[in-house]
Structure 1
Amino acid sequence: MTFTAPTPAQIEAAYTVARERYAALGVDTEAAMTTLATVSLSLHCWQGDDVGGFENPGGPLEGGIAATGNYPGKARNGDELRSDLDLVYRLLPGRHRLNLHAIYAETGGVKVSRDELRPEHFATWLDWAKANGHGIDFNPTCFSHPLAADGMTLAHPDPAIRRFWIDHCIACRRIGAHFGRELGTPCVTNIWIPDGMKDNPVDRLGPRQRLRESLDAILAEPLDPAHNRDAVEAKLFGIGSESYVVGSHEFYLGYAVSHPGLLICLDSGHFHPTEVISDKISAVLLFVDELLLHVSRGVRWDSDHVVTLSDETQAMMQEVVRGGFLSRTHIGLDFFDASINRVAAWTIGARNVLRALLIALLEPTGRLRELELAGDTTARLAILEELKGMPWQAVWDMYCYRHDVPIGIAFLNEIRHYEAAVLAMRS
């Protein structure tokens, strides 16, 4: 089945009507698109190979992480993964970043311990990023490793094991700084660990004391913030750590607030199913300088479904825009779905985040704030409800048209062609 895009004349006609409709509410659609073009999403490399990495191809995925499904065409090496990413970037309007995990080092077949990783092990990624204008963000990989088999890393009671993971994170910070220095854009190096327990512990304090000491050791070396920004990421629970996670939101929020310059990462799949992070954004940014958002979609216990244009996706982007936080917020994706075409999963999720941002930018925020301050909540509600039916899709189509990317669902045509020509050849 081939999907047909609207013609340029149809796009122009629909946009003209949309621009006039928004202008009547005091919204400049041209300004909204200009602002959206300044936003760079950080695309997570691990969607392309189900978080496998290159360290131990085909090895078990451990540490509270599970990728379900076996759709054909998984990337098996760096060249294939970069090829898949190249297509995704061509299907997204704007210029975007890459989020890379340490297990995607390319070492020429030589076994390199994670605590001995160096920038040269990511030279191919760096060359590719330079050639394509992508910034790179980075992550230590504190899972799927024999020294993480019992569910503890930076909070491990064994000092030797703890030291291994500290040294791994130190190495990753230096690699991140190298990326930032070489690419001229700061690398966000984000620390997430799976540490926790399946059943209720007697000692909740001890592991958190050890985690604090480990983080202090990791962050002791000062790095130029123009090259590297450090972030810490919480989780409520995971597979194998259903009852207790050492790095809780409360722990990391306290740690970030007490360490100026440290970012806190809010992952939309890492909280209780009845909790939303849209309500946390303004609260957190009162006390930390910058925020890292990992946009995902939690479904009950599984935190990593493909992002949809849901109410919460829109609410997160509304909070970022309404609060004037765009310049203080780093937006990345974090999901892995092996049940559908992986390139399509990347593309659908990323385009939904960009669409949610555009919808937020098409609000008359100043006018709504004035009505709220004046106590006119009637008009505020009326405008907010009216906005739900406004023709934002026509503005999105124009934005895609101007950036020379497929309009509407026509992006699937290119993915289907790539699947037949490239993905189907992988065995």
Structure 2
Amino acid sequence: MTGYEAAKAKYEALGVDTDRAIERLKKVPVSLHCWQLDDVIGFDNDGGLTGGIQTTGNYPGRARTPQQLMEDMEEAMKLMPGTAKLNIHASYAIFEPGEFADRDALEPKHFAKWVEFAKKHHMGIDFNPTFFSHEKVKDGLTLSSPDEETRKFWINHGKACIRISEYFAKETGVPCVMNIWTGDGFKDVPADRMGPRLRCKDSIEQILSEPYDRNLVKPCVESKVFGIGVESYTVGSAEFTLSFAAQHEGCMPLMDNGHYHPTEYVSDKIPAMLCFYPEFALHITRGVRWDSDHVLLLDDETKEMAKEIVRNDALDRVYMALDYFDASINRVLALATGFRSWQKALLTALCTPNEMLKELQDTNQLGKLMVMHEAVKMLPIGEIWEEYCRREGVCDDLHFYDEIERYEREVLTKRG
């Protein structure tokens, strides 16, 4: 009997079909963010990263061209089991030599090479307007700015992104989630908290007035607690985005599990959201003390988020995407590690005897429930993970770093 067969038998005793869990997981799309590979720089400006976010570190080998970024993405994908979507920001537009379009004038043609890449790898594409790292971010504000010309520029940018999102969906045959997030806010206590939010509300409504097929484009609004330089007030708070999505049909809320107070848990928010929203989006990261966007690992909160999605039969209702950026380590390693960690969390959730545990709760067998929770933690999920990797044709954890070292030696260290 193989290690997998022995592990499978243990799960079967609890009513879990591990083969079925593996087959289900293979088909769950998770968006893979390109910005881990170049420190969120993009291709449309030479300036530094702004907007309340930052990367730290200067590990050699950062992707500096579209070709390098796509090569690194392909290398990371060789190490990842499961189904990936491509997730890009508007700042990653690819222009022909001598060509340039500002963000309010972007067109589908500026992303044609991304579509070509996605088709090559049978991927859908998710998209994000880029409301940061641009000279027209006036006094730290975009969609909420009191300056009409500033707001108009960014509204037009959002509308352009709606058109590009629909282009992605039509070309790939997969709906495009388009996420609206801005770092608008103030460093110190503002005199007017409502005014910027009313302007932001109007701006997003204008963006969403752009005609689009709701079966193809899935717009969403993302909240945040604070960012660097905007510590005292954020326009797009959780209450603002949740209320906006609730009142605007076709617009989803997006939760980033790094965008809350450290004592809040998105794993607890997920089932609450599922009571009211048919669909919503989720950015998955690892915040250390704040929204630090560390590489995702298989920690407790990561596992709990996956459990809540799976046990509530919501794999088709939650649009899952990774969102972190670490410049202090090998970037390809970071991208692949985070994806594998989320796959492990989902596999663990799919191999959890959820119905049995729910029954214990509903029949008030709380002592036994606690004991079974602890027993489930010791099940041989590692054997199931190795079998999943084998079936998907990717290396196991013990040989994962060997491939990273080879790519770094042969490719990354040779970059300027």
Specify the TM-score bucket, using the shorter chain as the normaliser: over 0.9
Residue in 2 that maps onto 1:66? 54
1:404 to 369, 372, 393: 393
Percent identity (aligned): 49
Encode CA deviations 1:10-49: one digit per residue, 9 max, x unaligned.
xx71111110111111111111111111111101000000
For 2:339 and 2:78, the matched residues in 1 are separated by 12
Q: How far 1:194 sits from its partner (Å)?
A: 0.5
1:413 to 402, 410, 413: 402
1:30 to 15, 19, 22: 19
Task: For residue 100 of structure 1, give the secondary structure of its aligned residue in structure 2.
Answer: strand
Q: Which runs of 5+ in 1 are unaligned?
A: 1-11
TM superposition score normalised by structure 2 = 0.98
2:91 to 82, 103, 109: 103
Encode CA deviations 1:203-260: one digit per residue, 9 max, x unaligned.
1000000011001101112421222110110000000110000000000000101112
Q: Does 1:352 align with 2:347?
A: no
Task: For residue 29 of structure 2, give the secondary structure of its aligned residue in structure 1.
Answer: coil
Residue in 2 that maps onto 1:179? 168
In the TM superposition, 1:271-286 aligns within 5 A as 271-286=260-275
> Retained in 2: the 8 A contact 1:261–1:289?
no
Q: Does 1:252 align with 2:237?
A: no
For 2:137 and 2:266, the matched residues in 1 are separated by 29
Amino acid at match of 1:355: K
For 1:373 and 1:300, the matched residues in 2 are separated by 35
Residue in 2 that maps onto 1:89? 77
For 1:223 and 1:50, the matched residues in 2 are separated by 31
For 1:364 and 1:212, the matched residues in 2 are separated by 43
Q: Does 1:242 align with 2:215?
A: no
Residue in 1 that maps onto 2:303? 314
Q: Which is further off, 147-156 or 231-240?
A: 147-156
> Retained in 2: the 8 A contact 1:47–1:335?
yes
Residue in 2 that maps onto 1:361? 350
For 2:210 and 2:184, the matched residues in 1 are separated by 24
In the TM superposition, 1:192-231 aligns within 5 A as 192-231=181-220
Q: CA RMSD in A?
A: 1.0
Task: For residue 280 of structure 1, give the secondary structure of its aligned residue in structure 2.
Answer: helix
Task: For residue 264 of structure 1, give the secondary structure of its aligned residue in structure 2.
Answer: strand
> Retained in 1: the 8 A contact 2:138–2:150?
no
Residue in 2 that maps onto 1:3? none
Task: For residue 327 of structure 1, give the secondary structure of its aligned residue in structure 2.
Answer: coil
Encode CA deviations 1:81-121: one digit per residue, 9 max, x unaligned.
00000011111112211100001001124221100000000
For 1:149 and 1:159, the matched residues in 2 are separated by 11
For 1:75 and 1:417, the matched residues in 2 are separated by 17
> Retained in 2: the 8 A contact 1:130–1:183?
yes
Aligned length: 415
Task: For residue 127 of structure 2, give the secondary structure of its aligned residue in structure 1.
Answer: strand
For 1:392 and 1:224, the matched residues in 2 are separated by 41
1:301 to 290, 299, 304: 290
Amino acid at match of 2:364: G
Residue in 1 that maps onto 2:142? 153
Residue in 2 that maps onto 1:76? 64
For 1:80 and 1:143, the matched residues in 2 are separated by 23
Residue in 2 that maps onto 1:42? 31
For 1:380 and 1:75, the matched residues in 2 are separated by 49
Residue in 2 that maps onto 1:4? none
Q: How far 1:320 sits from its partner (Å)?
A: 0.3
Residue in 1 that maps onto 2:316? 327
Amino acid at match of 1:173: I
For 1:111 and 1:29, the matched residues in 2 are separated by 51
Task: For residue 2 of structure 2, give the secondary structure of its aligned residue in structure 1.
Answer: helix
Task: For residue 96 of structure 1, give the secondary structure of its aligned residue in structure 2.
Answer: strand
Q: How far 1:340 sits from its partner (Å)?
A: 0.1
For 1:255 and 1:332, the matched residues in 2 are separated by 21
> Retained in 1: the 8 A contact 2:256–2:284?
yes
Q: How far 1:315 sits from its partner (Å)?
A: 0.6
> Retained in 2: the 8 A contact 1:185–1:226?
no
> Retained in 2: the 8 A contact 1:273–1:300?
yes
For 1:265 and 1:151, the matched residues in 2 are separated by 22
> Retained in 1: the 8 A contact 2:82–2:343?
no
For 1:150 and 1:111, the matched residues in 2 are separated by 25
> Retained in 2: the 8 A contact 1:41–1:331?
yes
Amino acid at match of 1:405: V
For 1:326 and 1:395, the matched residues in 2 are separated by 20
Residue in 2 that maps onto 1:19? 8
Q: How far 1:156 sits from its partner (Å)?
A: 0.3
Encode CA deviations 1:158-198: one digit per residue, 9 max, x unaligned.
01100100000110011011000110000100010010000
Q: How far 1:409 sits from its partner (Å)?
A: 2.9
TM superposition score normalised by structure 1 = 0.96
Q: Which is further off, 395-404 or 222-231?
A: 222-231
For 1:96 and 1:301, the matched residues in 2 are separated by 27
Q: Which runs of 5+ in 2 are unaligned?
A: none
For 1:111 and 1:127, the matched residues in 2 are separated by 20
Q: How far 1:149 sits from its partner (Å)?
A: 4.6
Q: Which is further off, 281-290 or 387-396?
A: 281-290
For 2:74 and 2:108, the matched residues in 1 are separated by 22
Q: How far 1:378 sits from its partner (Å)?
A: 2.1
Q: How far 1:274 sits from its partner (Å)?
A: 1.3
Task: For residue 8 of structure 2, give the secondary structure of its aligned residue in structure 1.
Answer: helix
